[in-house]
C-alpha cells in the first residue's frame, strides 16, 4: 500500500508549524481543524468545477506556495482572530486573480500526457510484497469471521436445558 501522506495532512502540519506556534494556540488549531480542511479542499472544488485535473504533489505544492506567501506577506493582525477564514479568503483571492493562468497550465497537452502516464502506472500490477501483505491482512480478517475455527467446542459437562 502507498504510505504517502495526503496533501491535506502535509499542509495541516505546515499550517500548525507556521501559524499555531505557541502552546496556547495548540487547542485552537484542533478547534479550527475542520474549517482549515474546508479551506484546504476548496481549491479542489474550484479545479473540479472547471474540469481540471491535478496531481497530489502539484496540489500540495500549489497550496504550500500560498501558505509561504501568507507567512511572508500576510498581516498577522488580520489573521490572528480566525486564521481559517483568512486562509480561505487568501486562496479565493489568489484563484480569482491567477485562475486563468492556472487553467491554461493545467489544460496544456503536456499535463494531460502526465495524467495518462499516471493512470497507466496505477494499472500496473502491484509488487509481490504488497500482494503478500494484502493477502495476510485478508486472511486475518477471514480467520476472525470463520465460525468453525474460533467457536468454542461444546463442553460435555454442560447440561442440556430440554
| pLDDT recorded at residue 117 | 76
Q: How far apart are CA 73 and CA 90, in angstroms?
A: 11
Lowest mean pLDDT, pick from 88-97, 117-126, 128-137 = 128-137
Answer with the residue of higher pLDDT: 149 or 109.
109
When pLDDT is cut at 50, 70 and 90, the band that residue 1 belongs to is: very low
| pLDDT recorded at residue 69 | 92
pTM over 0.85: no
Answer with the residue of higher pLDDT: 128 or 85.
85
Answer with the residue of higher pLDDT: 134 or 91.
91
| pLDDT recorded at residue 48 | 85
Q: Residue 86 in contact with residue 37, Cβ under 8 Å?
A: no
| pLDDT recorded at residue 52 | 79
| pLDDT recorded at residue 100 | 85
List, for residues 21-61, the tens digit of each pLDDT value.
877 778 888 888 888 999 899 888 888 888 877 778 888 99
**Average pLDDT of the chain?**
77
Average pLDDT over residues 114-126: 70
Cell of 137: 491482512
List, for residues 52-91, the tens digit of each pLDDT value.
777 788 889 999 999 999 988 887 777 777 889 999 999 9
Amino acid at each position: 500500500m502507498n504510505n504517502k501522506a495526503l496533501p491535506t495532512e502535509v499542509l495541516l502540519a505546515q499550517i500548525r508549524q507556521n501559524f499555531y506556534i505557541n502552546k496556547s494556540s495548540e487547542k485552537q488549531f484542533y478547534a479550527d481543524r475542520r474549517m482549515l480542511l474546508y479551506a484546504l479542499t476548496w481549491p479542489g472544488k474550484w479545479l473540479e468545477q472547471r474540469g481540471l485535473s491535478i496531481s497530489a504533489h502539484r496540489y500540495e505544492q500549489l497550496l504550500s506556495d500560498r501558505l509561504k506567501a501568507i507567512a511572508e506577506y500576510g498581516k498577522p493582525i488580520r489573521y490572528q482572530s480566525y486564521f481559517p477564514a483568512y486562509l480561505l479568503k487568501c486562496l479565493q483571492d489568489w484563484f480569482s486573480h491567477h485562475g486563468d493562468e492556472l487553467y491554461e497550465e493545467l489544460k496544456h497537452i503536456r499535463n494531460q500526457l502526465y495524467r495518462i502516464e499516471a493512470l497507466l502506472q496505477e494499472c500496473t500490477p502491484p509488487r509481490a510484497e504488497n500482494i503478500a501483505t494484502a493477502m495476510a491482512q485478508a486472511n486475518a480478517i477471514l480467520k476472525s469471521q470463520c465460525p468453525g475455527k474460533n467457536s468454542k467446542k461444546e463442553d460435555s459437562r454442560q447440561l442440556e436445558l430440554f
